[in-house]
Amino acid sequence: MTTQDFIVTDQSSVWLFEPRTEAAQRFVRQQVALDEWLWLGERFAVDYLAAAALAEDLENEGFMVETRH
């Protein structure tokens, strides 16, 4: 069974990204500019206009991304 690095949940106008692995968490800390208020527990929120591009960028970086609608 493959562990997903990110679980992305489509909540309509906001998508929630949950970095699940150590590598995913490190990448977010180092490479993704996020304001503190975007974090909701272990997940961070992204406007739907940018979310699909971010998910694609994460896959291009070699991360396994599961999108849930």
**pTM as predicted:** 0.94
Confidence at residue 1, expressed as pLDDT on a 0 to 100 scale: 63
Task: Give the neighbor-by-neighbor strand order of the sheet with 65-68.
Answer: 39-40, 43-47, 14-19, 6-10, 65-68
pLDDT by residue for the chain (69 residues), tens digit each?
679 999 999 999 999 999 999 999 999 999 999 999 999 999 999 999 999 999 999 999 999 999 999
